[in-house]
Structure 1
Amino acid sequence: MAGDEPVTSPDQHKPAQMKALRVGAVVTAVILLLMTMGNHTGKVEDIFLVLSAGALILMLIVDSVLRRNGLRS
């Protein structure tokens, strides 16, 4: 089977839709923050939801800084 597949380099593959991925990360962070307004009594869930949303937002900020400095396309 492997002999029938064409050999391609990584730059020949279709690039990912980065704008859609960034929008998806923002939407996911907002949804995670909206989940804190549930009918649960403990705050442990809120901590994990806020930390997860914060991690996504931090990754978007780092990506933005790297793109502005020309270190990432």
Structure 2
Amino acid sequence: MKFTLKQARLLKGFKQTELAQKLGVHVQTYRKMENFPDSVTIGDAKKICEILGMSYDYIFFNNDSTFSREAERGISI
């Protein structure tokens, strides 16, 4: 099963402010990540996966997103 970033965050019991703090970003920056997954850098995605304890495979990013295309090309996350 795949999740949106918001669903994954809620599943793990984090508030936006908490996850933003753990990522070391402003809450507005984190909100942008949830609303616009294409804005998530590979580095931030790695951190998010580590914090949430989930593999990239479980967090849904739109198949048309730049992020997903990079992952398909074999860029390790």
Regarding TM over 0.5, the answer is no
TM-score (norm 1): 0.27
Please identify the structure whose Cα radius of gyration is greater: 1
TM-score (norm 2): 0.26
Of structures 1 and 2, the one scoring higher in RCO (CA 8 A, sep 6+) is 2
